[in-house]
Amino acid sequence: MSVRILALVGSLRSGSHNRQLAEAAVALAPEGVEVEIYEGLADVPFYNEDIDVEGSVPAAALDFRAAAERSDAFLLFSPEYNGTMPAVLKNAIDWYSRPMGSGAFVGKPVAAIGTAYGQYGGVWAQDATRKAVGIAGGTVLEDVKLSIPGSVVRFGEVHPKDDPEVAEKLPVVLRQIADATAQPAQA
For residue 77, give the CATH number of its domain: 3.40.50.360
d(CA 134, CA 136): 5
52-76 pLDDT, tens digit each: 999 999 999 999 999 999 999 999 9
H or E stretch including 36? Answer: strand 33-37
Domain presence at residue 185: no
Best CA proximity match to 99, nearest among 58, 140, 142, 47: 47
Domain presence at residue 161: yes
d(CA 78, CA 124): 10
For the chain, what is the domain count?
1
Domain presence at residue 186: no
Best CA proximity match to 173, nearest among 24, 70, 19: 24
Domain presence at residue 187: no
Domain presence at residue 121: yes
Write out the residue range of the structural domain in which residue 167 sits.
3-180
pTM over 0.85: yes
d(CA 153, CA 174): 25
130-167 pLDDT, tens digit each: 999 999 999 999 999 999 988 888 898 889 999 999 99
Domain presence at residue 18: yes
